[in-house]
A = this chain, B = another copy of it.
Amino acid sequence: MLMKKLIVLLSALPVLGLAQTNDDSIFIKKISDDVLQNGRAYVLLHDLTKSIGGRLGGSPEFAKAIQWGKKTMGTLGADKVYLQPCMVPRWVRNGKTDKVAVVSVNNKPLFKPLDALALGNSLGTPTEKGITAEVFAINDFEQLEKYKDHLKGKIVFYNYHFNPTNISTFTSYADAVRYRGGGASRAAKYGAVGMIVRSMSESTDNNPHTGDMEYNDSFPKIPAMAIGLQDADKLWRLCQLSTSVMLNITTHGKKLPDATAANVIAEIKGSEFADEIITVGGHLDSWDVNEGATDDGAGVVHTMEVLRVFKALGYQPKRTIRFVLFADEEKSGNGAQKYADEAKAKGEKHIFGFESDAGGFTPRGFSFKVPPAAWSKLNEWKVLFEPYGGSRFVVGGGGADTEPLAEAFNTPVAELNPDSQRYFDIHHSRADVFENVNRRELLLGAVNIAALIYLVDKYGM
Chain A residues near B (Cβ < 8 Å): 1-2, 32-33, 36-37, 42, 164-165, 167, 169, 202, 204, 362, 364, 375, 387-389, 394-395, 419, 421-422, 425, 438-441, 444
In contact, B165 and A33 (Cβ under 8 angstroms): yes
Given A167-B387, A395-B1: A440 touches B202 (CB 8 Å cut-off): yes
Whether the pair B441, A164 counts as a contact (CB closer than 8 A) is: no
A302 to chain B: closest CB distance in Å?
16
> Once bound together, how far apart are the Cα atoms of A419 and B42, in whole Å?
19
* Alpha-carbon gap, A351 to B388, bound state (A): 33
Q: Is the CB of B439 within 8 A of A204?
A: yes
In the complex the two chains form, is B165's CB within 8 Å of A419's CB? no
Task: Find the B residue at minimum CB distance from A422.
Answer: B438
Residues of B near A165 (CB, < 8 A) are 32-33, 36-37
14 inter-chain pairs at a CB distance below 8 angstroms, sorted by A residue, are A1-B394, A2-B395, A32-B167, A36-B164, A36-B165, A37-B165, A167-B388, A202-B439, A202-B440, A362-B419, A364-B389, A419-B419, A422-B440, A422-B441
Task: Please report the C-alpha to C-alpha distance between residue A32 and residue B438 in the assembled complex, in whole angstroms.
Answer: 27
Q: Which of A37, A169, A419, A440 counts the most B-chain CB atoms under 10 A from its CB? A: A440
CB neighbours (8 Å) of A394 from chain B are 1-2
> Which of A1, A389, A421, A425 has its CB near the most chain B CB atoms (within 10 A)?
A421
Having A204-B439, A362-B362, one finds 10 other A-B pairs with CB under 8 Å, namely A1-B394, A32-B165, A36-B165, A167-B387, A167-B444, A202-B440, A364-B389, A421-B438, A422-B438, A425-B438
Query: Which residue of the partner chain B has the closest CB to A379?
Result: B5
> Using Cβ atoms and an 8 Å threshold, which residues of chain B touch A389?
167, 364
Who on chain B is nearest to A204 by CB? B439
Complex Cα spacing A421 to B32, Å: 15
**Chain B hits for A419, CB < 8 A:** 362, 419
Residues of B within 8 A of A438 (CB): 421-422, 425
Q: How far is the CA of A169 from the CA of B395 in the complex (A)?
A: 30
Rounded to whole Å, the gap between the CB of A34 and the closest CB of chain B is 9
Sorted nearest first, the 5 A-B pairs with minimum C-beta distance are: A1-B395, A36-B164, A33-B165, A421-B440, A421-B441
CA distance A204 to B33 in the complex (A): 18
Cα–Cα distance between A42 and B164 once the two chains are bound (Å): 14
Nearest chain B CB to A44's CB is how many angstroms away?
Answer: 14
**Whole-angstrom distance from the CB of A436 to the nearest CB of chain B?**
11
Cα A1 to Cα B421 in complex, Å, equals: 23
What residues of B have a CB within 8 angstroms of the CB of A387 in the complex? 167
Most buried by B among A167, A375, A387: A167
Contacts of A167 in B (CB 8 A): 32, 387-389, 444
Taking CB atoms, residues of chain B closer than 8 Å to A204 are: 42, 439
CB distance from A228 to the nearest CB of B (A): 15
List, in ascending order, chain B residues with CB within 8 A of A42's CB: 204
Q: Is the CB of B440 within 8 A of A362?
A: no
Please name the residue on chain B nearest to A391 by beta carbon. B392
Residues of B within 8 A of A440 (CB): 164, 169, 202, 421-422
Contact between chains at B444 and A421 (CB < 8 Å): yes
A444 — which chain B residues lie within 8 A by C-beta?
A: 167, 421
**When chains A and B are docked, how far (Å) is the Cα of A381 from the Cα of B438?**
32
Nearest-CB distance from A425 to chain B (Å)?
7
How many Å from the CB of A361 to the closest CB on chain B?
Answer: 9
CB A241 to nearest CB in B, in angstroms, measures 23
Chain B residues with CB below 8 A from A362, complex form: 362, 419, 421
* Distance in Å: Cβ of A325 to nearest Cβ of chain B: 24
A6 → B minimal CB distance (Å): 11
User: What residues of B have a CB within 8 angstroms of the CB of A32 in the complex?
Assistant: 165, 167
Closest chain-B Cβ to A354's Cβ sits at a distance in Å of: 19
* Separation of A167 and B444 alpha carbons in the complex (Å): 8
